[in-house]
Amino acid sequence: MDYLPNILFAALLIAGIGYFTKNVKKLRRNILLGRKADLSDNRPQRWKNMARIALGQSKMVVRPVAGLMHIIVYLGFIIINLEVLEIVIDGLLGTHRVFAFMGGFYDFLIASFEILALLVIVAVVVFWLRRNALRLARFVKPEMKGWPKNDANWILYIELILMTLFLTMNASDLHLQRMEVAHYTEAGSFPVSQWITPLFEGMSASTVVLIERTAWWLHIAGILFFLNYLYYSKHLHILLAFPNTFYGNLKPKGQFSNNEAVTKEVRLMMDPNADPFAAPAEDAPPPEKFGASDVKDLNWVQLLSAYTCTECGRCTSECPANQTGKKLSPRKIMMDTRDRLEEVGRNLDKNGGTFVDDGKQLLDDYITREELWACTSCNACVEACPVSIDPLSIIMNMRQYLVMEQSAAPAELNVMMGNIENNGAPWPFNQMDRLNWANETA
């Protein structure tokens, strides 16, 4: 019976990590449903971007208040969870504060953890007020109703509970140290939780031990729960921000990628020795689909970005189309892509790994044509994103599909392209008349 808690802890740990591993495999499978993309160029710059943007949070502080609080929560949550290593060892071996032998350094660590825990609690409360009391505009857009809003709040609640459990665990531990109960020997420095210890005055040692053990178990169980909740939450960016910033687009923001199929056709037209009527080789692969109408037509980096989206709304708040009342929201583009990808993943799970046509696609069923054509391609959303997501690339791929596969461009755009083809300019004037304005102003 003495080893029962250790066995139960090992079972909890195995179950939590096992389920997390299962979700990671599913996530990887879904992302790799996208087309191949070679983004292995300029690796030094990519490593630099990852360190600066994902680890250094450089784009978060563009908005100083929110950026600073996010850094506090980010650093606090990561650093405090270093104590999880001690909890795991204690849980498996039956020890208590196994790293206490480090003496003064251990005291410094615990004190730092507690101060960060308090700062995290303050930041989480402020975040909750910004979302639910102040109702900042970017948090009350149409796409943030229902699950996205609840998810954001649940994350704040979980973080608040975890930090409270951490401080409660330390406070009860400190009280037991002062009572010189069993193995609760003096270890650690507790600048924050020492103010909670008066709550335990008058309680029996067994009651305080029960509180300490309950907080200890709930803290580690909560961390494992949160780890597995990530897959279903916008907080997946905690993990995916690193690869997403590494594989981010390094080209100038106004530079679009050439369509290889179109490039080949143009080269063929310009080659005087090429036979334009030659039939394709028998072993030639079938022509690729132009653009994208569903998630499998996008490349895997775009699908990675869909899962990385933090739903912070910075892209949407900077979008000029959205600011003028258009339906386009770059955040919604990423959320819709992720939702459709999840739907495709569930289809694969249901049918043994084979996708069965469900009569749906990303275009029209999730993202409307009105949204796509509202985009000005200004790249404001790309510039604003704190984790290097590129909603514009998805918009342009879907526009390409509409134009080249369905000939479904808006009438105004067709007129413009016809004028360019016939007159060399977007306007309906003969090329000979293009400079008449100069004579009129002379």
Least confident of 87-91, 226-230, 340-344: 87-91
What per-residue confidence (pLDDT) applies to 257? 79
d(CA 420, CA 114): 65
Alpha helices, DSSP H, located in 309-390: 314-318, 320-323, 330-350, 362-365, 369-374, 380-384
Instruction: Answer yes or no: are the C-beta atoms of 55 and 242 closer than 8 Å.
Output: yes
Instruction: Answer yes or no: are the C-beta atoms of 391 and 334 closer than 8 Å.
Output: yes
188: left (phi over 0), alpha (psi -120 to 50) or beta: left
In the three-class reduction of DSSP (H, G, I as helix; E, B as strand; rest coil), residue 367 is classed as strand
Nearest to 220 by CA among 22, 24, 15: 15
What per-residue confidence (pLDDT) applies to 255? 84
Please report which helix (H) or strand (E) contains residue 389, including its range.
Answer: none
Q: How confident is the model at residue 99 (pLDDT cuts 50, 70, 90)?
A: confident
Instruction: Answer yes or no: are the C-beta atoms of 289 and 405 closer than 8 Å.
Output: yes
70: which 2 tokens? Answer: 């996010």
Instruction: Answer yes or no: are the C-beta atoms of 167 and 194 closer than 8 Å.
Output: no
Q: Give the residue extent of every domain in the chain.
A: 4-31+63-246, 260-272+289-429
What per-residue confidence (pLDDT) applies to 371? 96
What per-residue confidence (pLDDT) applies to 286? 65
Between the two ends of the chain, the Cα-to-Cα distance in Å is 101
In the three-class reduction of DSSP (H, G, I as helix; E, B as strand; rest coil), residue 175 is classed as helix
d(CA 442, CA 437): 9
* Identity of the residue numbered 383: E
User: What is this structure's pTM?
Assistant: 0.88
d(CA 156, CA 146): 16
How many other C-beta atoms are found inside a 10 Å radius of the C-beta of residue 250? 12
Mean pLDDT, residues 174-199 taken together? 89
Model confidence pLDDT, tens digit, residues 248-266: 999 888 888 777 777 877 7
Nearest to 292 by CA among 414, 421, 410, 391: 391
410: which 2 tokens? Answer: 């808006």
d(CA 326, CA 350): 37
Q: Match 């692969």 to its residue by tokens.
A: 285
User: Could you tell me the fold of the domain covering 260-272+289-429?
Assistant: Fumarate Reductase Iron-sulfur Protein; Chain B, domain 2 (1.10.1060)
Model confidence pLDDT, tens digit, residues 322-368: 999 999 999 999 999 999 999 999 999 999 999 999 999 999 999 99
Percentage of the chain lying above the pLDDT 70 cut: 96
* Identity of the residue numbered 290: F
How many other C-beta atoms are found inside a 10 Å radius of the C-beta of residue 227? 18
Mean of pLDDT over the chain: 89
279-288: long-range contacts, CB 8 A cutoff, minimum separation 24: 287/261, 288/260, 288/261
Kindly tell me the sign of the dihedral angle through the C-alpha atoms of 226, 232, 237, 242.
positive
Nearest to 248 by CA among 34, 35, 43: 43
Half-sphere exposure of 218 (CA within 13 A, CB side): 17
328: which 2 tokens? Answer: 């386009």
Helix/strand/coil (H, E, C) string of 289-328?
Answer: CCCCCCHHHCEHHHHHHHHHCCCCCHHHHHCHHHHCCCCC
Least confident of 142-146, 361-365, 428-432: 428-432
Model confidence pLDDT, tens digit, residues 273-284: 777 666 666 666
Residue 392 has pLDDT above 90, yes or no: yes
d(CA 87, CA 110): 13
Q: What are phi and psi of 367, to 5 degrees?
A: -110, 125
Mean pLDDT, residues 28-44 taken together? 91
How many other C-beta atoms are found inside a 10 Å radius of the C-beta of residue 5? 13
